[in-house]
Amino acid sequence: MTFVDFLNLLIAALLLAGIYAVMSVGMTVIYGVMKIVNLAHAGFMMMGAYFAYELYQRLHLDPILAALLAFPFFFLVGVAVHWLLVRWLPHSDRPTLQSLLLMFGLWLVLQNIGYLIWGNTDRSILSPRTLALVHLGPIIISSLRLVVFVAAAGCMAVLEIALSRTWFGRSVRALIQNRYAGRIVGVDDEKTARLTFGMGIAFAGVAGALLATLYSFDPDFGRPFLLRAFVIIVLGGLESVSGVALGALILALVETFSILFVPASYQPAISFALLVVVLVVLPGGIAGLWAKRRRLA
Amino acid sequence: MPEPVPAPILELQDLEVSYGAVQVLWGISLSVSKGQVVCIIGPNGAGKTTTLNAIIGVLKPTRGRIILEGQDIAGLPPHQRVQRHIALVPEGRHLWPGMSVEDNLMMGAFPPAFRPRVAHNLEGVYGMFPRLKERRHQLAGTLSGGEQQMCALGRGLMAEPHLLLLDEPSLGLAPILVDEIFQFVAEIVKHGVTILLVAQNIDYALQVSDYGYVMETGHIVLQGASDMLLNNQHVQQAYLGGSIEEPGAYPASQPAQG
Ligand SMILES: Nc1ncnc2c1ncn2[C@@H]1O[C@H](COP(=O)(O)OP(=O)(O)OP(=O)(O)O)[C@@H](O)[C@H]1O
Ligand SMILES: [Mg+2]
């Protein structure tokens, strides 16, 4: 492998990491605040893909712009779903079977709505940008992937700023780290949970719309990405944006560089293998490693 | 039963609280007068923390009234109670270890109505605890035990409390730090904050407080002016190093004050 090949792979991995981070961070905030493993995340990613598809087909809206519009749209969807369904779940400081079943059921419902409306044919969004390339000397970058990365990185940056600088963000971090402490200083945990759920679903919608520009999709879209999101979350821990970004980068690097060693047909197994390895070797994820080192120091 | 002279800021009437099927408080009545320090003492598991959690609202009483400044707040969620300037410094401190000291303090002024005075109150807290100011950008999880307790006190003060609920502020601290923390408590008292104090360090608690309640297995078994409780035979024997007796051996609900 030449150095240029290596650089090309590295850049490809970095660009992939951006979208991986956006698709995982929504699950992370929802889990952090509500201790719900949102299996329906995959369903909302699928809906995000069709959201961009419909806007592109009907209104010729740029899919990247559609992805940004997906944020407010899916935020409202998330708030509504929370109000209708999620808030009735028993409160708990750990994941409950009820919440798993509810979210799994919701995923199935979303999938079936997808089949009902769009059937099971593969769709894709082909825009003028799809095949355009950027040449930087010997390095070749897909301009679409570059744009998707910029959009994804922008979303992550906005989230990080919102979490660290705003009162809402502080209340989210407070509930994640110590729910009881949040309640005794006057955080309305019901309201924060509702807004957080909206935010998590909004990120699912944005991720789905962005992914739809890169891959073809059907109503089962999201399933392989859900598994990847699990790997990223297990790697990066459930408490921070930077942890998610790190987990996303690691998975993207492993997936991208594995093409050198693993036949393409085994690709889907990579993330699963990584999940098993991490669970066995590093059950606390990277964050756990950090914490251990801090305790030893 | 004697009414304390100044108007009560807080009154509990016949409060009952259960965890699931297990009832823990069996009709607690107590009263805290404005400007006073009132303490609750009693053995482990008596229900002291439960009482404070019911006052702040994270536990819902099954019966009874919680009257704060003349209004029954028993039906309100915690965030609506905190708006009325009650603050809890909880047992075990409950800071956010991954947030900076300053963010921890700021969260003490979370209700929107408190936010305009955050900067001003931060200065006040830093004036009282200069060590927190030095460490304000550090993560709270990296503070020492004494500093964490200061941070928890500071967070409580950020709410400009009319009533401060202090749960075991000296728990787990080295004796020299215990002194320091109680000096801070004394200073807070000087600022005119009304305090309901739960403390294992009964000697201290009764010295710093005006009035005290003794709680055992979810009942108030004894109450009175703190100096009288200090000399009370039951308190002496059960809590202040006298020979320890079965708590139940003493007649329940007997006020020490005539
Ligand atoms: N979350 C809970 N679930 C069930 N029971 C609880 C819970 N918290 C406390 N209890 C029980 O309620 C009783 C009162 O506990 P509480 O913590 O109020 O006592 P305390 O007086 O504060 O004791 P300590 O001096 O040890 O802090 C105890 O019997 C305890 O076991
Ligand atoms: Mg206690």
Give the pLDDT confidence score for residue A278 in this predicted structure.
82
Task: Reply yes or no on domain B1-85+161-250 having CATH 3.40.50.300.
Answer: yes
Kindly report, residue by residue over B187-233, the tens digit of the pLDDT.
Answer: 998 888 999 999 878 888 898 899 999 999 999 999 999 999 988 88
Give the pLDDT confidence score for residue B164 in this predicted structure.
97
- Cβ proximity of B169 and B39 under 8 Å: no
Give the pLDDT confidence score for residue A286 in this predicted structure.
63
Q: Does the distance separating the beta carbons of A173 and B96 come in below 8 Å?
A: yes
Give the pLDDT confidence score for residue B253 in this predicted structure.
47
Q: Please give the distance, rounded to the nearest whole angstrom, from the Cα atom of residue B219 to the centre of ligand 1.
A: 13
Q: Which residues of A touch B (CB under 8 A)?
A: 167, 170-171, 173-174, 177-178, 180-188, 190, 239-240
B-chain residue closest to A192, CA distance: B79
| Window B:37-76, CB contacts with A under 8 Å | 56-58
Which atom of ligand 1 sits closest to the CA of residue B51? 18
Buried-exposed string B206-245: b where 16+ CB fall within 10 A, e elsewhere:
bebbbbbbbbbbbbbbbbbbbebbbebebbeebbeeeeee
Q: What angle do CA B69, B195, B226 make, to 5 degrees?
A: 115
- List the single best residue of A28, A164, A184 to mutate versus B (max B Cβ within 10 A): A184
Touching check for B92 and chain A: CB below 8 Å?
A: no
Give the pLDDT confidence score for residue B5 in this predicted structure.
59
B255: pLDDT confidence band, cut at 50, 70 and 90? very low
A-chain residue closest to B157, CA distance: A185
Q: How far apart are CA B184 and CA A48, in angstroms?
A: 55
User: How large a percentage of chain B has pLDDT more than 90?
Assistant: 74
Give the pLDDT confidence score for residue A20 in this predicted structure.
95
Give the pLDDT confidence score for residue A290 in this predicted structure.
59
Q: How far apart are CA B115 and CA B108, in angstroms?
A: 10
Which atom of ligand 1 sits closest to the CA of residue B218? 14
- Cβ proximity of B198 and B27 under 8 Å: no
Q: How far apart are CA A176 and CA A181, in angstroms?
A: 10
B244: pLDDT confidence band, cut at 50, 70 and 90? very low
Nearest ligand to the CA atom of B25: 1
Give the pLDDT confidence score for residue B222 in this predicted structure.
93
A-chain residue closest to B105, CA distance: A185
Environment class of A59 (CB within 10 Å of its CB; exposed 0-12, middle 13-18, buried 19+): exposed
- Counting Cα atoms < 13 Å in the Cβ hemisphere of B61 gives 29
Kindly report, residue by residue over A168-207, the tens digit of the pLDDT.
Answer: 999 999 999 999 999 999 999 999 999 999 999 999 999 9
B113: pLDDT confidence band, cut at 50, 70 and 90? very high
The amino acid occupying position A285 is: G
Kindly report, residue by residue over B154-188, the tens digit of the pLDDT.
Answer: 999 999 999 999 999 988 888 888 888 888 988 99
Q: How far apart are CA B143 and CA B150, in angstroms?
A: 10
Touching check for B26 and chain A: CB below 8 Å?
A: no
Residue B256, pLDDT > 70, answer no
Query: Where are the alpha helices (H) located in chain B, listed in sequence order?
Result: 48-56, 78-82, 101-107, 118-128, 130-134, 145-157, 175-190, 202-208, 226-230, 233-239
3-state secondary structure of B164: strand
List the structure tokens of A241: 């944006």
Give the pLDDT confidence score for residue B241 in this predicted structure.
67
* H/E segment holding residue B31: strand B22-33
Provide, as residue numbers in chain A, all residues whose Cβ is less than 8 Å from the Cβ of B116: none
Average of per-residue pLDDT values in chain B: 90
Provide, as residue numbers in chain A, all residues whose Cβ is less than 8 Å from the Cβ of B95: 178, 181
Give the pLDDT confidence score for residue A265 in this predicted structure.
80
Task: Beginning with the edge strand found earlier in the chain, give each strand of the sheet holding B71-72 in spatial order.
Answer: B22-33, B8-19, B63-68, B71-72
The residue ranges of chain A whose pLDDT is under 70 are 239, 284-297
- List the single best residue of B110, B138, B163 to mutate versus A (max A Cβ within 10 A): B110
Whose CA is closest to B40, among B185, B221, B231?
A: B221
Largest CA distance in chain A: 59
A85 vs B239 pLDDT, higher one: A85
> What is the pairing mode between strands B63-68 and B8-19?
antiparallel
Kindly report, residue by residue over A52-86, the tens digit of the pLDDT.
Answer: 999 999 999 999 999 999 999 999 999 999 999 99
Q: Please give the distance, rounded to the nearest whole angstrom, from the Cα atom of residue B47 to the centre of ligand 1.
A: 6
Residue B257, pLDDT > 80, answer no
Task: Count A/B contacts: CB-CB distance under 8 Å.
Answer: 66
SS3 letters across chain A: CCHHHHHHHHHHHHHHHHHHHHHHHHHHHHHHHHCCCCCCHHHHHHHHHHHHHHHHHHHCCCHHHHHHHHHHHHHHHHHHHHHHCHHHCCCCCCCCHHHHHHHHHHHHHHHHHHHHHHCCCCECCCCCCCCCEEEECCEEEEHHHHHHHHHHHHHHHHHHHHHHHCHHHHHHHHHHHCHHHHHHCCCCHHHHHHHHHHHHHHHHHHHHHHHHHHCCECCCCCHHHHHHHHHHHHHHCCCCHHHHHHHHHHHHHHHHHHCCCCCHHHHHHHHHHHHHHHHHHCCCHHHHHHHHHHHHC
Instruction: For residue B107, give how far its alpha carbon lies from the nearest alpha carbon of chain A (Å).
Output: 7
List the structure tokens of A92: 């708990």
Dihedral sign for Cα A266, A267, A268, A270, please: positive
Return the residue whose CA atom lies nearest to atom 16 of ligand 1: B47
- List the single best residue of A177, A185, A189, A294 to mutate versus B (max B Cβ within 10 A): A185
Provide, as residue numbers in chain B, all residues whose Cβ is less than 8 Å from the Cβ of A173: 96, 98-99, 103
Q: Where are the domains of chain A?
A: 3-221
Buried-exposed string A87-121: b where 16+ CB fall within 10 A, e elsewhere:
eebeeeeeebeebeebbeebbeebbeebeeebeee
Q: Where are the domains of chain B?
A: 1-85+161-250, 94-160
- Cβ proximity of A259 and A267 under 8 Å: yes
Environment class of B191 (CB within 10 Å of its CB; exposed 0-12, middle 13-18, buried 19+): exposed
Nearest ligand to the CA atom of B53: 1
